[in-house]
Structure 1
Amino acid sequence: MRACATALAVLLAMCSWVEGEVATRRWRPLAVQGAKTLRFDLSGLGAAARVYRADLVLARSGAILGNEDDAMVKVEVVPASGAKPLPLRGPWFDRLDATEAVRAACRAPRAQTVEFIVKACPKGVQEATYLDVAFEGTAENVPPAVKGLKALHRGGLTFVTWAELDDPFGVKTPTLDELRAAVKQLDAAKQVRYRIYRHAERIDARSVAEAELLAEVAPLSGYNPRGVSTDHVIHQRQLRAIEDGLYARSIAAEPFKVAPDSPEMGALPVRRLAIEDGKPLPPGVGLYVHHPAKPGRAFYAVVACVDGVANMRHLADGAALAEPVAEEAGPGQPVLQNAEDLKVFYDYPGQRLHYVQWCAPPLANLPNQVHNWSAYVPPAAAGNDPLALGIYFHDWRGLYLRPRWPHARDQVLIATADSPWPSFGYGYHEALGTLKAFSEGVVRDYTAARIDAFVAWARKRFAIDPARISCHGLGTLGGTAALHYAFRHPDAVAWVVAGYFDASPATCPPAIKSGERELKTHLPQMEAVWGKREWDLKTAAGASIWKDRDLTAWVRAHPTAALPFLSIGAGTLSPVWSQQVPFMKALLEVRQPFIAEFDWGGSPPRYGPDYVRRDKPMPAVHPDRMEFATRNYWAEAKVLYSPGGSINTGLSWEPKSVVDTSERLEIEGRFGGAVTIRNAQRFKPKPGEKIAWTLDTGRREANRTGEAVADEHGLVTIPGLGQGKLILTRAGAPSQ
């Protein structure tokens, strides 16, 4: 009998919280008590109220980037009672957890007020700060319940959709300016947010108190404003130029001068997102995409919230799922949005497909992040032969839907919009877009990780030949990203085409002298995402981000690495010339395969050689002659006007005729210097081993023979080679 009574008492204690409904309310601070004091009158909450959750939402006047001193300042707010600082609440880290402080205030015998001291909050706006509380009580003036809730899971992504309370556009497609204005107008009238809940049990008016609040979603979430591209601006310009001769002449000098913040962007249409290939969401539908951390079954609910008052009372089937969703963990798969038609006069034959990749940690620092991609698919994709895969990294103009780049007939060319934080092919600090300080976290490889995920998907989707993956980019953003991403996978990427890249950000000056002009460099943009260089912030592995990105030092420290073949373009007056020269010298010193071309104004990199394969040997050539070697723009890496020069631009070889066995290697081509064989798959001499070599020129009297000794790394170098078939054999191997 006593056991039954005890069990009943435990059950009643567990269920006591369900006696009342869950209500929410928002409080604004009372009249300012001081520049650093926030005081809230909670008398309407009721004495001894059961508080489930309280969030202190601190407003800021603008985002804080890593190149600002404020980025290192930790937000610190403490209750006036002198307790510990309020912790940040994940996963968005845009608010502070004030639950215990509000509970304490409700237990106090005196007037129910709660007071906080703001010790530090850079760019804080006190007037826009508020306190949201969820408690047991009766909600008043609740907004209408959400209708039409659906949840679809596919490959690691759960797509949650619902009918929004307001739909200002209907079937009309808004422009980017119209969409932004509509969001602003909606918030000015009343702040509507949709709270997304997830729970292991069915969510109703009482169990919602135990459900996990995943996010607060703003109105018009079914649109894809990040999908609006500068490519669309150029397309509109070209169409207009056909009809308007005066306009055509006005843009003739710089038709492609555009930036993501160009005013013309605002006039472009914004498409609705598709969560099934090629099927945009219907008008008036909101969207949130969740990445489950582990497989299982989950219920979802969406609650409308207006100015802090949420409708937690009406959670019928239209606002809460009656059946759970079966979920699995994983990065998810990109979803086809549409085929882009950007043709004016000419475009490469094939299709330009626009995809969206939804990311969350560890592929982004926040959940529900939309990243746009393009994939150029050539007609050859309809055949049975595997295709090459090119990864293109755009420059500061943001042109990714139609890269201004050669499109090979047998290559799928993919490109992503590097936004909202341009990150040079690596990633950014986890504090960006949150209340975290840069002093509290690390720089993570979010961008590279999400590219890895997209590439893994593309390799399966388009039947890619894994030996023919390449990276391409131009400029201090795109060229740097192409090179740095390729070095992330030196054993998987076959070749790289990069121009005006920064191989050593740690040595990048804030400005350079170019003739009589002083030119600012891209250092502030790097510091914006990695923190000021003087702070020397760390990666997740604990290394300095600036030392970690030093590819020149990496090349020298890894002489045996089988790097991709590099095609480099540069200019001796460019902001990155002083970083590029040491990098090229390092490649020559350790005998890595590359070609380079440069002049004073800047030479774009040569496209290719596109026949390079990751599974075939490559010749690394140290040229016999470099006429510019003693000139100070090379010898001292001086940024100045010059006649330029080139390295190995005459190099070519025939991969199809390569012989690579354990005893013999043959490679035919035009070399022009000392040749070191790199990336051999089977011909691997031991250090100190003697290797017989022959250069068959096709003319017996011009043939050359000799013997070489493999160095301490097992690499074999043959000096002074011109054109012909180079044959290497190990001792005792049969001659042919």
Structure 2
Amino acid sequence: MLFLFRPAGLPLAVLWALATPAPAQVDGLSARHYSGQTFLTWNELPDPLTHYRVYRAREPFLRESDLDSADLLGRVDSSSSDNHRRSVATGHSFNWIVETGGSQLADDQGLFVHNVRESPIFRTSNFAGRPYPAFRRFHYVVTTVTNGLEDRTLVRGENTATVPFEWAAQPAPVLQNTDLSGELWAHWVGNRATPFQPALHRHASQGFNFRFDPGIAPEPRGLLVRLHSAGQTYAIGWPHRNEVPTDVDILSLSDSDPAAGFTLWLGTHDAFPSSSTGAQVVNLFTIQRVKWTLDWMTDRLGSGHDPERVYAVGGSMGAMGTFYLATEYPDRFAAILCRNGNFDLRAPDINNASFVQSLLGTYSQNLPVAPGLATQNIGIFDRTNASALSQMFPAVDGPVFRTINGRNDTTVGWQSAVTLYEALASIYYPGGHYFDTRRHSPFGHWAGMEQELLKRTLATRRDRPSLHFGGLSINDEAGMGDPGDGDAIGTLNGTIEYDPETAISDPDFCEFEVYLRSEGALDDAPVTDAQVSLTPRRTGPFTLSAGDTVLFTLREGTNLIATHMLTPDGNGLLHTPAIGVTPTRRNARFDRVLGSSQGGYSLAVPRLPHSPGGPVPTASAGH
């Protein structure tokens, strides 16, 4: 038994600290710098409760007091060499590999990865008179903290290390494994922005896995970004490789967080895991990390990648991430598919509201999104609400949007799906939506349609125009948001289609082939005639301004079905009156009108249609 004699006036806590053995120190510190990142490894102490602090300075560490003026980069816990998510995904224990072609770190090694912000200092050569980079030397120390006590002892060459040159550069993910199906990569991010990468986490030295599974069709191929649901990893998610066409590669990412487990593919407020006070902002670092990884992968693929065919797909939390990603970077994606997602985190029937508010702040606070993104300064619960977004960005073009949701889903709820339907219709946004009586599972009336919906989604191209179908007369009724309202099973704009392969636009016209589905599929049109209004979207070079005039024509073969003169609305969008559509393909064409002349008009591109039903105005000569 330990007996303490306390001199008068000396606090017992001080005596206890004096009697507690000082923590031991690490040894074997090694520092390697490449691709804008410095990788520090060391031998950990046996105590699993010990954590480690990492310091950095321009001058060598000669005494403990030098730590006071050094830059404390961050801390890591024990077992920082453990690639936990890969271990969970495979069922086998794996540690990180920090250099492509290298071996896994040992179980008792510590790891800290620092993203360098400083650029080289350029000096002028005395000989050639040309600038040359004078690289910066930096020094590192790793200390231990055990039982709340930091051991700041400096042991030269053991817990100190020097990097002779460091400079900011584009980070390079490190290959972890290659198998018959694809590659596993690791990417380390931190809480400090560099010239080449934003801060992508609230903590320093956070490692993430991502997997690349290529198709086998000839290049160039499309690329599908796959986002998993809550509790899953990069290795488990929908869709599977055998469900995806061979002309599309798959990039699978992970959403993980040391405190929350996951971030809803968003991020956290900057006080998390402490409670928000209302003074915080929400950092959408997970969205930004996904975008950074996507850009890195497409750059790596080079000419083997078709940039007009980028897609995002996910189920549950992955569907929510797909929605957030596509609305943050709408010009990046051709089409998206969301299964069982939520589109309003404030919806009253969502069942994990307490977790949402711990992660992002309370509903009443509605903390703003941090600067640096298109949605910066928007309240986070407006940012994640389809209706609010549609009102803020009514004219923004983006990917074709397909969804599958269940009326009896008590996890993400049903009401937000109706919110989405109404929001997209209000801004004439292209897409198709399916609903049935499923709970929060992939099993429902439309389950057999999933692979077909994937095929349609992955046939869309960003460089071709899309089409919104308004007021389709054979749409089913989704109701007002209560599971008992409307049709139990149905689709909105699922029974009608335009051919994405023949859709075309140039500065003077755009045209589509439109038809009702009659393909032996579950979403075939129940009738052979319907009425719908058409609104072209993402028309590229075919842009319109106030005062422009457009001739719309609808033809079936050589027969003219309808013709209308149209003018754009305040957002530059065209809307036809209700027109007839059938299972037979009809050509819907929008021609820019340059001006009027005697007895007719002038088209930018001559088109002289003739119809057995009677004459139509003809283009003026010379155009």
Shorter-normalised TM-score: what interval?
A: 0.7 to 0.9
Query: Tell me, which stretches of 5 or more residues in structure 2 are unaligned?
Result: 120-135, 193-198, 371-375, 439-443, 517-529, 594-601, 608-623
Match of residue 613 from structure 1 = 461
Q: Tell me, yes or no, if structure 1 residue 473 matches structure 2 residue 314.
A: yes
Hey, what's the Cα distance between the residues in 1 that align with 2:386 and 2:169? 31
Match of residue 326 from structure 1 = 165
Q: CA deviation at 1:305?
A: 5.6
Structure 2 counterparts to residues 209-220 of structure 1, below 5 A: 210-220=69-79
Q: Match of 1:419, SS?
A: coil
Hey, what's the Cα distance between the residues in 1 that align with 2:16 and 2:338? 50
Q: Tell me, yes or no, if structure 1 residue 734 matches structure 2 residue 605.
A: yes
Hey, what's the Cα distance between the residues in 2 that align with 1:114 and 1:613? 72
Q: Tell me, yes or no, if structure 1 residue 364 matches structure 2 residue 201.
A: yes
Hey, what's the Cα distance between the residues in 2 that align with 1:202 and 1:220? 28
Hey, what's the Cα distance between the residues in 2 that align with 1:715 and 1:620? 11
Hey, what's the Cα distance between the residues in 2 that align with 1:409 and 1:113? 72
Q: Match of 2:484, SS?
A: coil
Show CA shifts across 1:51-103 (max 9, x none): xxxxxxxxxxxxxxxxxxxxxxxxxxxxxxxxxxxxxxxxxxxxxxxxxxxxx
The amino acid that maps onto 2:190 is C
Q: Percent identity?
A: 22
Match of residue 611 from structure 2 = none
Match of residue 643 from structure 1 = 488
Cα 1:419–1:282, aligned 2, differ >3 Å: closer, same or farther?
Answer: closer
Q: CA deviation at 1:438?
A: 4.2
Q: Match of 1:276, SS?
A: coil
Q: Match of 1:448, SS?
A: helix
Match of residue 458 from structure 1 = 297
Cα 1:734–1:214, aligned 2, differ >3 Å: closer, same or farther?
Answer: closer
Hey, what's the Cα distance between the residues in 2 that align with 1:711 and 1:219? 61
Match of residue 622 from structure 1 = 470
Hey, what's the Cα distance between the residues in 1 that align with 2:369 and 2:326? 18
Hey, what's the Cα distance between the residues in 2 that align with 1:644 and 1:354? 42
Show CA shifts across 1:627-681 (max 9, x none): 534xxxx342221284311122234434443432212223234266221110111
Equivalent residue for 1:586, pick from 423, 430, 454? 423
Match of residue 522 from structure 1 = 352
Match of residue 154 from structure 1 = 34
Cα 1:359–1:468, aligned 2, differ >3 Å: closer, same or farther?
Answer: farther
The amino acid that maps onto 1:622 is G
Root-mean-square deviation over aligned CA pairs: 3.3
Hey, what's the Cα distance between the residues in 1 that align with 2:17 and 2:280? 27
Q: Tell me, yes or no, if structure 1 residue 335 matches structure 2 residue 158.
A: no
Cα 1:282–1:448, aligned 2, differ >3 Å: closer, same or farther?
Answer: closer
Hey, what's the Cα distance between the residues in 2 that align with 1:734 and 1:449? 43
Hey, what's the Cα distance between the residues in 1 that align with 2:462 and 2:102? 38
The structure whose residues are more often helix, as a share, is: 1
The amino acid that maps onto 2:380 is I
Query: Tell me, which stretches of 5 or more residues in structure 1 are unaligned?
Result: 1-29, 32-40, 44-109, 116-128, 134-138, 167-185, 233-267, 342-348, 512-519
The amino acid that maps onto 1:483 is F
Kept after mapping to 2: 8 A contact 1:155/1:330: yes
Number of residue pairs matched by the alignment:
526
The amino acid that maps onto 1:521 is N
Match of residue 570 from structure 1 = 405
Hey, what's the Cα distance between the residues in 2 that align with 1:377 and 1:398? 21
TM-score normalised to structure 2 length: 0.76
TM-score normalised to structure 1 length: 0.65
The amino acid that maps onto 2:354 is P
Kept after mapping to 2: 8 A contact 1:691/1:707: yes
Kept after mapping to 2: 8 A contact 1:624/1:720: no
Hey, what's the Cα distance between the residues in 2 that align with 1:220 and 1:650? 54
Hey, what's the Cα distance between the residues in 2 that align with 1:467 and 1:725? 24
Q: CA deviation at 1:688?
A: 4.0
Structure 2 counterparts to residues 194-593 of structure 1, below 5 A: 194-205=52-63, 207-208=66-67, 210-229=69-88, 231-232=89-90, 268-283=91-106, 284-295=108-119, 296-304=136-144, 312-313=152-153, 315-321=155-161, 323-329=162-168, 332-339=171-178, 350-361=181-192, 362-380=199-217, 385-405=219-239, 406-420=243-257, 421=260, 422-433=262-273, 437-463=276-302, 464-475=305-316, 477-506=317-346, 508-509=347-348, 511=349, 521-540=351-370, 541-575=376-410, 576-593=413-430
Match of residue 51 from structure 1 = none
Q: CA deviation at 1:499?
A: 1.9
Match of residue 79 from structure 1 = none
Match of residue 724 from structure 1 = 586
The amino acid that maps onto 1:586 is A
Cα 1:331–1:527, aligned 2, differ >3 Å: closer, same or farther?
Answer: farther
Q: CA deviation at 1:294?
A: 2.7
Hey, what's the Cα distance between the residues in 1 that align with 2:377 and 2:572? 32
Hey, what's the Cα distance between the residues in 2 that align with 1:140 and 1:579? 57
The amino acid that maps onto 1:734 is V
- The structure showing larger relative contact order (alpha-carbon pairs under 8 Å, at least 6 residues apart) is 1
Hey, what's the Cα distance between the residues in 2 that align with 1:415 and 1:281? 22
Q: Match of 1:534, SS?
A: coil
Hey, what's the Cα distance between the residues in 2 that align with 1:716 and 1:193? 61
Q: Tell me, yes or no, if structure 1 residue 691 matches structure 2 residue 550.
A: yes
Cα 1:679–1:437, aligned 2, differ >3 Å: closer, same or farther?
Answer: closer
Hey, what's the Cα distance between the residues in 2 that align with 1:309 and 1:658? 68
Hey, what's the Cα distance between the residues in 2 that align with 1:482 and 1:286? 34
Cα 1:643–1:147, aligned 2, differ >3 Å: closer, same or farther?
Answer: closer
Show CA shifts across 1:386-443 (max 9, x none): 332222221234142143303332223222222223333322122224x675445222
